[in-house]
Amino acid sequence: MIAKTASIMLLYIVSAAAGNPECDSLTATAKWALFAEQNRDAITYAVSSAACAPDDAASIEIATLGILFEMKRILGIDKDSAPEQLPVGTPEVEILSSQFMQLIAEGRRRTQETLAKDPNDINAMFLRAKINLNLVWFNLQILDKKSGLDEFEEAQELLQQVLAQNPDQCRALTASGWIHYKIGTLGFFQRLGLKMVGISGDADEGRRRIAKAATVSTCDPWDHDETLFSLMGVLIREKKWEDVVRYGTELQRKYPTNLGIAKGLAEAAAELEKHRK
């Protein structure tokens, strides 16, 4: 299993865009750790990569997502709503929150500088949008605050610009689709509360975009796997168990330590067994 995992990581490192080999290797390792639910490792490698490539915001986006996942793990947030009571004064939570906000600010600074030089830089536009969305999810899922409207609106606008330039940009399809789907499938009063502050989503549009992203042949391996994780979330929610097994098995082969995948596959197996009886 270890040898197989190592070979998968090597494949993805080799497939990374050519640049500084040390930085590329750190970024690839951070991505693998993030997908494998090794959040602490993902944060460490991503921050190291960000220091290695001081003009790049890609690793900062990974680091902020890793912190968000780790905080949800610590707080026991299995779904998408904030805990009933945030454990105020918990040192670990406070440290991660502080690190998260510092990285968000740095990521926004880096993308702003890049876009000031080239307003049509599609990669910088996407990364700024994604970093903004990580902040919005942090506010909603960790702090239970319906704030970050400016960042949400900017993210939506940037993702639209990215898709206008490249309708098959799979990360933009996945990110925008996930927004639509997650917000569009919230309860009525949750959606109403978000709509009152200008945040809305269409579940059908979300499904369509994520499904399209999963079929884009030009996605690199990391982006394709990211799309499959989002697709798995949709399929599990909608109880499409045969497809859960299909995509979950593919992801589990690459990321055997991801407990979320194992949980989804176990649920799918149990449900399919019920239907056989």
How far apart CA 116 and CA 114 sit, in angstroms, is 5
Domain boundaries defined on the chain = 1-118
Q: What is the pLDDT of residue 193?
A: 79
How far apart CA 246 and CA 154 sit, in angstroms, is 36
List, for residues 139-180, the tens digit of each pLDDT value: 888 887 777 789 999 999 999 999 999 999 999 999 999 999
φ and ψ at residue 64, rounded to 5 degrees: -65, -35
- pLDDT tens per residue across all 277 residues of the chain: 434 433 433 334 334 444 578 888 999 999 999 999 999 999 999 999 999 988 889 999 999 999 999 999 988 887 555 455 555 557 888 899 999 999 999 999 999 999 999 999 999 999 999 999 999 999 888 887 777 789 999 999 999 999 999 999 999 999 999 999 998 888 877 777 778 877 788 999 999 999 999 999 999 999 999 999 999 999 999 999 999 999 999 999 999 999 999 999 999 999 999 888 6
122 and 166 in contact (C-beta within 8 Å)?
yes
How far apart CA 201 and CA 185 sit, in angstroms, is 8
How far apart CA 234 and CA 240 sit, in angstroms, is 9
Tokens 């929150």 belong to 97
Q: What is the pLDDT of residue 12?
A: 41
Q: What is the pLDDT of residue 186?
A: 85
List, for residues 83-102, the tens digit of each pLDDT value: 555 555 578 888 999 999 99
Q: Look up the pTM and report it.
A: 0.86
Q: What is the pLDDT of residue 80?
A: 52
Tokens 């995509």 belong to 247
Q: What is the enclosing helix (H) or strand (E) of 140?
A: none
How far apart CA 112 and CA 47 sit, in angstroms, is 19
Q: Residue 84: how many CB atoms within 10 A of its CB?
A: 6
How far apart CA 36 and CA 32 sit, in angstroms, is 6
47 and 23 in contact (C-beta within 8 Å)?
no
Give CA separation, 150 vs 133, 136, 197, in Å.
11, 10, 10
Angle, CA 91 vertex, CA 89 and CA 92 arms, to 5°: 125
